[in-house]
Amino acid sequence: MGVHRCRMCQADSVINMRQHRLALCEVHFVEWVEKMTLSFIKKQKMFEPEDRILVAVSGGKDSLSLWQILLKLGYQADGLYIDLGIDDGCDYSKRSGEYVRNFSQNISSEAQLHVLDLAGVYGKTVAEMAERRKGGRKKLCSVCGLVKRHEMNRVARELGYNVLATGHNLDDEAAVLFGNVLHWESEYLLRQSPVLPADGLGLVKKAKPLARFYERETAAYAIVCNIDYILDECPFSVGATSLRLKEVLNSMENNSSGTKLQFYFSFLRAKKDSQFPECKRSELSSCEKCGQATGAPGMCAFCRLV
């Protein structure tokens, strides 16, 4: 492999993105990521400078990079860290929280970090919440997802944020799309989007400003920007379906650069052109306990769990 030179300035490149046929040096890569994020935010009508954005931060590269990028682009973005109480012998949540706190101390003094201690509020860690359900690790991941979605939305509403931003990258989105396609989950397909509008039932607007970047690109951004993030995956994610799907997509990407990009964006284009499932979304109503939107009658899945 020859040394690639930055397309902008001919300096040694820090990254060569085969899918874009684009090699860039540190300075121009950072600039490119931020510029592309801004254009994706605008194109997808995610939010405006006057919006109050809550960024869900986990301590990983994607969410910390997202927070930094949004602040650099001049958006009003505060962070939310949910301490799920995951220990599993490696202090996972405790260590993740430290990365988030360290990060937040080094950024713009105007940006706030909110921390939600799940066990403090509900008396139970996410693993304890999942215990009542059968199904082992798989069930735990699904309970964890449910808890995070519910709590992120609740906190955003209670604190007056009108957009919830998450750090999902293209690898995440392509794997979710792949899973939905394998079971042809029409309703999930219909709902999968880098931006979801608020509904009238208490769900705030959701946005994924990094959904166009490969995981490799968000990792490179974090490293180049000296963002100190937790390298470990969640200990409970071992063997998770999403990781297997990512492996499959990675091997396909290795065979043919741009596979993931093509897969995700051709899907978004087909949706936009309405060449897409005219499936009815299930009727939603308000949870009788927390008031958030739910497809279930009575209480929502979270309130039933808790």
Nearest to residue 203, comparing CAs of 78, 295, 276, 125?
Answer: 295
186 binds a copy of itself (CB under 8 A): yes
Of 143 and 261, CB closest to a copy of itself: 261
| Contact predicate 171/218, CB 8 Å | no
Nearest to residue 153, comparing CAs of 302, 29, 305?
Answer: 302
CA gap 159, 162 in Å, rounded: 9
238 binds a copy of itself (CB under 8 A): no
Stretch that binds a copy of itself, among 48-56, 61-69, 136-144, 248-256 (CB under 8 A): 248-256
Out of 49, 274, 282, 283, name the contact with a copy of itself by CB under 8 A: 274
Out of 279, 295, 298, 304, name the contact with a copy of itself by CB under 8 A: 279
CB burial string 39-62: b at 16+ within 10 A, e below: ebbeebebbeeebebbbbbbbbbb
Of 120 and 136, CB closest to a copy of itself: 136
DSSP labels, 170-238: HHHHHHHHHHHHHTT-HHHHHH--SEE---TTSPPEEE-TTTTS-HHHHHHHHHHTT-----SPPGGGT
277 binds a copy of itself (CB under 8 A): yes
Out of 11, 181, 201, 243, name the contact with a copy of itself by CB under 8 A: 181
Of 98 and 185, CB closest to a copy of itself: 185
C-alpha Rg value of the chain to the nearest Å = 20
244 binds a copy of itself (CB under 8 A): yes
> Cβ of residue 195: shortest distance to a copy of itself, in angstroms?
19
Of 108 and 251, CB closest to a copy of itself: 251
Stretch that binds a copy of itself, among 29-37, 106-114, 222-230, 255-263 (CB under 8 A): 255-263
262 binds a copy of itself (CB under 8 A): yes
Of 106 and 254, CB closest to a copy of itself: 254
DSSP labels, 101-166: HHHHHHS-TT--EEEEEHHHHHSS-HHHHHHTSSSHHHHHHHHHHHHHHHHHHHHHHHTT-SEEE-
Out of 263, 287, 292, 300, name the contact with a copy of itself by CB under 8 A: 263
CA gap 93, 159 in Å, rounded: 23
CA distances from 246 to 5, 49, 179, 251, 304 (A): 29, 34, 10, 9, 32
134 binds a copy of itself (CB under 8 A): no
Of 162 and 259, CB closest to a copy of itself: 259
183 binds a copy of itself (CB under 8 A): yes
Stretch that binds a copy of itself, among 105-113, 149-157, 267-275, 294-302 (CB under 8 A): 267-275
Which residues form the interface with a copy of itself (CB under 8 A)?
Answer: 181-186, 244, 248, 251-252, 255, 259, 262-263, 266-267, 269-270, 273-279
